[in-house]
């Protein structure tokens, strides 16, 4: 977070604000209160609830899709086995008829 105030004094290297000032403490307290109010607002709570619900719905959809794909693969494998079995049976019957 960045805050600008003409009352802040910079350190000698000008990279930091001296934190022993009353203005600094007041600004820091005000920023923290503002952030807390924003985080606890109904809008932010609804946002996080909606995001969570969307994530859960997406996970449920992915699970269902994965399950459907697994079932489809199982049906295809079963169908292939059945076709192989039918093919072998047909070949055996045709051999028996020739004899």
pLDDT, residue 47, reads 96
- Percent of all residues in the chain with a pLDDT value above 90, rounded to a whole number: 47
Average pLDDT for the chain: 83
Model confidence band, residue 32 (pLDDT cutoffs 50, 70, 90): very high
- Percent of all residues in the chain with a pLDDT value above 70, rounded to a whole number: 70
Q: Where are the domains positioned within the chain?
A: 41-98
Whether the predicted model's global pTM rises above the 0.85 cut: no
**HEC profile of the chain:** CCCCCCCCCECCCCCCECCCCHHHHHHHHHHHHHHHHHHCCHHHHHHHHHHHHHHHHHHHHHHHHHHHHHHHHHHHHHHHHHHHHHHHHHHHHHHHHHC
């Amino acid at each position: 977070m960045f805050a600008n105030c003409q009352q802040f004094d910079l350190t000698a290297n000008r990279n930091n604000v001296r934190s022993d000032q009353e203005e600094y403490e007041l600004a820091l307290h005000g920023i923290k209160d503002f952030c807390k109010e924003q985080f606890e607002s109904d809008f932010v709570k609804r946002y996080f609830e909606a995001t969570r619900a969307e994530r859960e719905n997406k996970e449920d959809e992915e699970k269902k899709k994965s399950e459907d794909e697994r079932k489809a693969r199982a049906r295809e494998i079963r169908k292939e086995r059945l076709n192989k079995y039918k093919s072998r049976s047909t070949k055996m019957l045709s051999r028996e008829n020739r004899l």
